[in-house]
Structure formats: C-alpha cells, structure tokens
Amino acid sequence: MQTDSSFTFVLFGGTGDLSMRKILPALFEAHRAGGMLADSGKIVAVARHVADRADYIDWVNEHVKPHVSKNGVDETAWASFLDRIEFVKIDLGNPEDFTLLRDALSGRPGIRVFYLATGPSLFVPICHALASVGLNENSRIVLEKPLGYDLKSSNAINDAVGEIFAEEQIYRIDHYLGKEPVQNLLALRFGNVLFEPLWRREWVESIQITIAEELGVEARGDFYDNTGALRDMVQNHLLQLLSIVAMEPPHSMDSDSVRDEKLRVLRALKPIDPRDIGKVAVRGQYHAGGIRGSAVPAYATEPGVKPDSTTETFVALKVEIENWRWAGVPFFLRTGKRLADRVAEIVVNFRAVPHSALGASALRGGANRLVIRLQPNETIRLYCLAKQPGEGMNLASVHLDLAFDRFFREGQMEAYQRLLLDVINGRLALFVRRDEQEAAWRWVEPILNEWAASNKPPKPYAAGTWGPAAASAMLAQHGTCWLEEEN
C-alpha cells in the first residue's frame, strides 16, 4: 500500500459528519503508519462554516481528534498530520468561489483527488464548477452514496458527471467493499483449493447476508424518510456484498476483471415479478421498544419523520441467481434499524450429509456453515460437528476461528483507510462501476414501484427485536432460519 506519488486530497464537506468520523481519521491513520502517504501529499479542506485555516485546525482538534487511534494519539504524528492540512473557504453555491480553489492548487505536483462528502444534490454543481476552472483534468473524483433516488435520477447524475470526468476518473465508494473480512473472503475463495469446490449449488443450501443496526435514524429523519432501507442499504451495500460472495473467479485482481465478474452476478439476479413481491420481500417499520435496557421511540415520532410515514426501516429479501453455479440456492438479505444487535455478517449454510450413521443431528441443515463477520468484531468462523466428550456418539457444534490478529502483528486496516489509499494510488477494483450501479437499480426498481403503488403499510416490529415475524416465516418456508448469535 506504500506510495511515493505526490497528491493533493481536496475534501468537500470538510466540516461534515463523514469527514469528522471517517475520512480525516482514516487519512491520519495512513499518515501515522508511515510510508503510506507521500511526504509531499497535502489535504485541502473545503467548507464555508469556518473563517480560515487556524479556525479549521481548531475544529479538527476538537472534533476529529477524538475519533482517531483507539490506542490514544501519538502527539508527534498528530502535529505532523496537521501540517498536511490546508483550508479554502468556499460557498459551494457560488461557482465563482472555485477560482480560489484553482489558485490554491496551482503548481502542485501529482494527482488531485476531489472527495465529495456532501449531499448528492451538490455532486453535479461541484463537478461543473471544477470543470469551469479547469480542475477536472488529471484528477479523480470520489462520490459518496446515495447516488440518486432511482434508476432515472442515478443515470442523470452519472450522465452529468460523466460529461466532465471519464469513467476511470470516477470512484463510487461503498465502504463495505474495503472491510478486511471482505478482502479475506476473496483470499479464502481464490487463494485456497479447499473452498472453491464447495462454493456452488451442489454443496451450499442457502446464504444469508445481514446488516443490522441498533441505532435509529438519529438526526437524519428528513433524509431517511425520503429514502428508506431498500435505497439506503440494499441497492448498494447488500447487493455489492452478494456480488462478491457469488462472483466467478476473475482471471486477475485488476479493476475491470473483478468488476466484470460482479456485474455478471448482478445481471443474473432473477427478476422479481410484481405479483410475487409479497412472497419474497418483507418491509417493516420499528415501533417503540427497548435497546439494551433503554426505551426508544417509534420511527413515526422521530424528528423529521412524517407521523403517517410508510417508509420502511427494515427489509428482508429472498434473492435467486440464475446461473449454473447458484441455480436453486436462495440468498436471504436482511437489513434494518433499531434491531436487537449491531452486526454485519455473511453466513454460508452448507448442505447436510446425505446419510448419517451418527444420528439425526448430522442431518441438520446448517450444521456446517461459514460465518464472515464484518462488524462489530471482524472474524471468519467455520462451524462443524464434533463428538462431545464422554460415552456415546453425541455431536455438538464447534468452530474453527480464523483469528487473523493472532497471525499478523500489524493491525487491521479500516475500510476507509484502504479505499482512500486506493483512490490516491489509482486502484479501482473496490469501487463501483457505473454499469454495476445501473444493474442494481434496475433489479430493485420493481420492488420500489410496487411498494409505492401499494396501500399496505410496512409490517410493525418492536425496537430491540429482529424485525417483523414475516421475515422469519419467509426463511421457515425453506426449512432454515436467520443466524442470530451474541457478539
């Protein structure tokens, strides 16, 4: 991950929540590690709510510093990191202000990265303003989600940005693709002969992908009530994880080889007939309940949410892939807010043995499973059956824990750190290509349209539970259940 390339990292939305919690802490960790960022590399923050660089550094010390290294802050490294930071005060609504940014970047060597940590409504105006002062040349642009509200609006943004930046200059970020266990999933599948022969319909019974949150909508009620869980999580994070799990082996790990295989999965998703949506899609909305002993309000009473809102805060889907590897294997996707635990994981349930001389427990589906935990603790576990000590042949579930921190002394790299380094170094493999994004939108649109046309409200579930009972019933029809374990 080391680079000698000089760069200028321009951060739009420099005082925003994402910059505070993720982007600047990730850049600091890369700086602190040494050798990952060229010494000449600079960070130029763009905002309008602070007066000058001194005020911005004060803001960084107050708001960003608490989010950096879990083991405390190396003050020497922190001071040298602050030396990298510059500031340009710009009103994004005034294109003439971009001449100030052009002048600040004039004569700098190396690549320019423009990170748009702003609302999507500003993506196109910022790109036009950058082009008006000639800053779109020899540059890369990073777009945060959500990129559009539906296929039409997504295409409109991509068309407008694509007129200014070439596709190879555009980095559509999905931070789940930068997580260490996702990288290890690729290593396990394509670096070992053990798993690949089993990674197919003959041996896999079902696959679950869950991204569950304990938090509600927090201060994002206005945004979330116009978005919902299907747009916010399924169209991007969950379908990207599905494509990584189900993809064919690429001939190499270069950007287009990986993304070509992901695209084939997305295009092979079985289209959902609007008449069947009630059978394969469950939407829910949380009501008042309790999280870890504390009472929490219903979604409809959250600030910024309409009292009669029908926006879903929970989605569960049954997905099928129409190709030779996965035909007949159900993929179950689940995401929601105010659920019983904060967890993101992929569960591969293998088929039971065809005949058991050891009793009925060996014939139980899911006795052999691979669990890739993405958060909160990143692990990979392989579950199997073993004999219990003592008399008789009684079987019990045990697991092999792939604890990477025991094998590798260096700490795991955070997702944003990896992805930001990939942008600086021009590596596109972990970023979403436009045709991938279009395929994902095209698949979810029938669900969005049917829910919009339906008069049926989302199914209620109490905060602090695992969602509507209908989500469990959907899996029960296939003889399985959601894996719900304690952290």
The CA distance from 385 to 368, in Å, is 7
Sign of the four-CA dihedral 103, 107, 108, 109: positive
- Other CB atoms within a 10 A radius of the CB of residue 303 amount to 11
- CA 48, CA 35: separation in Å to the nearest integer? 32
405: phi then psi, degrees, rounded to nearest 5: -70, -15
User: What DSSP string describes 191-220?
Assistant: H-TTTGGGSSTTTEEEEEEEEE-S---TT-
Note if 237 is an active site residue.
yes
User: Which of 5, 84, 101, 83 minimizes the C-alpha distance to 46?
Assistant: 101
Two tokens, residue 10 = 């321009």
Helices and strands: H and E segment counts in the chain:
17, 17
With residue 281 as reference, give the H or E element that holds it.
Answer: strand 281-287
| 131, 96 contact by CB (below 8 A) | no
The first and second tokens of residue 208, run together, are 């679950």
Three-state DSSP at 130 gives: helix
Residues 437/154, Cβ–Cβ less than 8 Å: yes
- d(CA 433, CA 147) in angstroms, rounded, equals 12
Catalytic residue among 49, 67, 128, 237: 237
Dist. CA 332–CA 325, nearest whole Å: 17
- β-pair type (170-172, 139-143): parallel
Residue pair 204/211 in contact (Cβ under 8 Å)? The answer is no
Return the active site residues.
Answer: 237
